[in-house]
């Protein structure tokens, strides 16, 4: 378990460990910074390749804490040069392996048996090696193959030592760095350290994997390996083997007859589900932890998740507020967006939102007005980086892993499609949930969208929701018809009473029918749910059966 104060005392009383490591870090990082300052902007491809190799070697030699940072950078093609990305990608599962005999000894001490007593076949070397352990592809029985992950030796000692040193350095240099995060660097290190110690507990990872699998048990587009509990422990975890293609780049998927767009769709939608629906998410979705599998489910590819060491939860309140923030951002409701930021802790409770709303409009309005579907996370974070220097915005510490997960998700998608825009896939999912789920908080967000202050229907907003849902499907009406059915159920349900009330208030003004709104509403439904759309959908469904 991570404890910053305890570990600091532990290291201070061991100067023979502390002093050599500090000297090594200072010298290594100084040489690293000097070389990069001189060569990073060079246009010579040979120099850039050599620099990339040096970057990989340096990060690898610095150990697990620094490798984790490198892994995060390896998913950002928009921030890191391609030559460097090619090398940084090796940090995901292509690091130097530790001694095989030592791995067998760790297995024996943890499980109580030799590998020959447990497996029909156990390979003489690992198939992949990452920052915290290495993986073997072994045959348990018949044709059942498993992944056996064995933790690196001395990991707890190494991580404790480096976290103390990194935290101490950040404590002293933090005030001099051009950062305005709203909280100290020490808090970031503590959050990182706490999650890193959870990640090296393989018993906890096994529990995480089973919980994650239960969330997607009815989703055929997401595959989660089965944990073999009898061959797992604190430092060993054994799961069923997932046979797939690593999501390294677009070309690799195409060579294996896999559709990159369908894989992106599954990755993004499953990621959004984890954050906004389940409240439990995979916080380390880098390419080494995701596999593209054969087959498709509708317009979604088949995606396999592995490595459940770094997981996190988000509260129900934050989930609902984030959902509202996405909708309010797209609909340019800047006062409600400011209120969302206040609920999430990005603004203090005492902040006057009337002052903040015009600022949000000025900073984000230009981007939203161009094309909502062109908006990506980097655009938003860049804008907010500017905001945080001049206005009272802060980033709550609890959002550290959420931001990491979403940024990694977008970075992964950008590797498969350089023109990828996250809201193109995320917003249809959010819109569908708003129109179909009997959740009181979501219903409240829905009413904010489609009714104004005078209880008049915002036809354009309702049409916008239906439009983004229909755009997410290649078959006309495929997504809209189920939404219509579920939306009708919501409307006549007990929880839909407030929607019915506001709808009646909108359609009846001064004891008379509001003919204008009724006409607009009927025209909208006739356009979106026309017999032609229904026929097209039925034909698309029937064709495979006839053929």
pLDDT digits (tens, 9 = 90+) for 140-156: 988 899 999 999 998 98
Which span out of 40-44, 422-426, 437-441, 450-454 was modeled with the highest average pLDDT?
A: 40-44
Report yes or no on 259 lying in a domain.
yes
If asked whether residues 507 and 361 sit together in one domain, one would say no
* CA–CA distance, 217 with 212 (Å, rounded to integer): 9
* CA–CA distance, 412 with 430 (Å, rounded to integer): 21
Report yes or no on 166 lying in a domain.
no
Q: What is the mean pLDDT of residues 374-383?
A: 62
Burial 53-62 (b: 16+ CB within 10 A, else e): ebbbebbbeb
If asked whether residues 416 and 282 sit together in one domain, one would say yes
Report yes or no on 365 lying in a domain.
yes
Average pLDDT, the chain: 80
Nearest to 443, CA basis, from 320, 287, 294: 320
If asked whether residues 134 and 265 sit together in one domain, one would say no
> Exposed (0-12), middle (13-18) or buried (19+): which is 546, by Cβ within 10 Å?
exposed
Q: What percent of the chain has pLDDT over 90?
A: 21
Report yes or no on 87 lying in a domain.
no
Nearest to 423, CA basis, from 331, 323, 344, 326: 326
Q: What is the pLDDT of residue 545?
A: 45
Report yes or no on 457 lying in a domain.
yes
Q: What is the mean pLDDT of residues 165-169?
A: 85
If asked whether residues 118 and 227 sit together in one domain, one would say yes
If asked whether residues 406 and 486 sit together in one domain, one would say no
* CA–CA distance, 332 with 330 (Å, rounded to integer): 5
Nearest to 77, CA basis, from 291, 328, 288, 378: 378
Q: What is the pLDDT of residue 35?
A: 87
Q: Would you say residue 486 has pLDDT above 60?
A: yes
Q: Would you say residue 281 has pLDDT above 80?
A: yes
CA 233, 211, 490 angle in degrees (round to 5)?
180
Which span out of 77-86, 225-234, 386-395, 509-518 was modeled with the highest average pLDDT?
A: 225-234
Report yes or no on 165 lying in a domain.
no
99, 155, 407, 250: CA torsion to nearest 10: 10
Contacts of 300 (CB under 8 A, 6+ apart): 221, 262, 265, 266, 269
Boundary residue ending a domain (367, 399, 423): 423
Nearest to 484, CA basis, from 436, 539, 538, 428: 436
Q: What is the pLDDT of residue 332?
A: 80
Q: Would you say residue 236 has pLDDT above 90?
A: yes
* CA–CA distance, 298 with 311 (Å, rounded to integer): 28
Boundary residue ending a domain (209, 241, 273): 241
If asked whether residues 259 and 393 sit together in one domain, one would say yes
Boundary residue ending a domain (176, 210, 241): 241
Q: What is the mean pLDDT of residues 458-462?
A: 74
List C-alpha distances in Å: 398 to 61, 187, 279, 376, 441. Answer: 30, 10, 13, 22, 22
Name the phi and psi angles at 151, rounded to 5. Answer: -70, 145
Lowest-pLDDT range of 33-37, 112-116, 120-124, 300-304: 33-37
If asked whether residues 235 and 253 sit together in one domain, one would say no
Q: Would you say residue 34 has pLDDT above 70?
A: yes
Note down the domain range covering 348. Answer: 243-423
Q: List alpha helices for 41-173, DSSP H.
A: 45-62, 64-73, 82-88, 100-111, 115-118, 155-173
If asked whether residues 468 and 368 sit together in one domain, one would say no
Q: What is the pLDDT of residue 226?
A: 95
Which pLDDT band holds residue 138 (cuts at 50, 70, 90)? very high
Domain count, the chain: 3
Q: What is the pLDDT of residue 182?
A: 46
Q: What is the pLDDT of residue 106?
A: 95
If asked whether residues 392 and 530 sit together in one domain, one would say no
Number of Cβ within 10 Å of residue 63's Cβ equals 18
* CA–CA distance, 34 with 16 (Å, rounded to integer): 28
Name the phi and psi angles at 136, rounded to 5. Answer: -115, 140
Q: Would you say residue 180 has pLDDT above 60?
A: no
What are the residue numbers of the active site? Answer: 284
Lowest-pLDDT range of 204-213, 304-313, 403-412: 403-412
Lowest-pLDDT range of 93-107, 155-169, 188-202, 409-423: 409-423
For the stretch 505-519, pLDDT in tens is 777 766 666 677 777
Lowest-pLDDT range of 213-217, 299-303, 321-325, 363-367: 363-367
Query: Cβ distance 338 to 325 under 8 Å?
Result: no
If asked whether residues 213 and 278 sit together in one domain, one would say no
Q: What is the pLDDT of residue 121?
A: 95
Q: Would you say residue 162 has pLDDT above 50?
A: yes
């Amino acid at each position: 378990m991570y404890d910053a104060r305890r570990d600091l005392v532990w290291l201070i009383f061991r100067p023979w460990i502390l002093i050599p490591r500090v000297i090594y870090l200072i010298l290594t990082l100084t040489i690293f910074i000097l070389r990069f300052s001189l060569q990073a902007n060079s246009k010579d491809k040979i120099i850039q390749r050599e620099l990339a190799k040096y970057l990989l070697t340096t990060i690898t030699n610095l150990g697990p804490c620094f490798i984790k940072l490198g892994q995060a950078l390896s998913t950002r093609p928009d921030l890191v040069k391609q030559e460097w990305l090619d090398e940084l990608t090796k940090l995901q599962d292509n690091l130097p392996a530790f001694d095989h005999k030592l791995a067998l000894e760790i297995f024996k001490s943890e499980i109580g048996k030799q590998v020959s007593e447990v497996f029909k076949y156990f390979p003489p070397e690992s198939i992949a090696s990452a920052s915290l352990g290495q993986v073997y592809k072994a045959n348990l029985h018949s044709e059942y193959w498993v992944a056996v992950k064995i933790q690196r030796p001395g990991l707890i000692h190494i991580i404790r030592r480096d976290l103390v040193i990194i935290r101490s350095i950040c404590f002293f240099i933090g005030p001099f760095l051009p950062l305005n995060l709203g909280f100290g660097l020490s808090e970031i290190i503590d959050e990182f350290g706490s999650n890193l110690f959870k990640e090296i507990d393989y018993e906890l990872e096994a529990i995480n994997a089973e919980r994650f699998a239960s969330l997607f048990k009815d989703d055929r587009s997401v595959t989660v390996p089965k944990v073999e509990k009898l061959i797992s422990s604190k430092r060993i975890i054994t799961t069923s083997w997932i046979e797939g293609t690593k999501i390294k780049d677009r070309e690799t998927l195409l060579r294996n007859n896999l559709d990159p767009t369908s894989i992106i769709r599954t990755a993004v939608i499953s990621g959004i589900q984890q954050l906004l629906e389940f409240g439990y998410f995979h916080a380390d979705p880098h390419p080494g932890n995701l596999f593209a599998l054969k087959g498709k489910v509708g317009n979604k590819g088949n995606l396999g998740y592995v490595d459940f060491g770094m997981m996190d939860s988000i509260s129900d309140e934050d989930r609902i507020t984030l959902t509202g923030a996405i909708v309010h951002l797209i609909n340019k409701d800047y006062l409600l967006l400011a209120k969302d930021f206040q609920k999430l802790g990005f603004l203090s409770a005492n902040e006057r939102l009337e002052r903040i709303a015009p600022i949000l409009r000025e900073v984000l309005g230009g981007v939203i007005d161009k094309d909502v579907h062109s908006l990506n996370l980097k655009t938003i974070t860049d804008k907010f980086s500017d905001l945080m220097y001049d206005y009272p915005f802060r980033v709550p510490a609890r959002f550290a892993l959420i931001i990491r997960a979403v940024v990694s998700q977008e970075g992964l998608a950008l590797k498969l499609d350089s023109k990828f825009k996250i809201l193109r896939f995320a917003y249809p999912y959010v819109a569908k949930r708003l129109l179909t789920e009997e959740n009181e908080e979501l219903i409240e967000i829905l009413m904010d969208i489609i009714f104004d202050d005078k209880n008049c229907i915002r036809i354009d907003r309702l049409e916008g929701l239906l439009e983004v849902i229909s755009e997410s499907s290649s078959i006309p009406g495929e997504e809209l018809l189920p939404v219509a059915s579920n939306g009708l159920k919501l409307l006549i349900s007990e929880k839909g009473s407030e929607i019915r009330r506001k709808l009646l208030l909108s359609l009846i003004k001064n004891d008379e029918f509001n003919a204008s709104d009724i006409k607009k509403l009927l025209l909208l439904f006739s356009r979106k749910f026309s017999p032609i759309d229904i026929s097209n959908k039925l034909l698309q469904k029937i064709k495979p059966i006839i053929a």
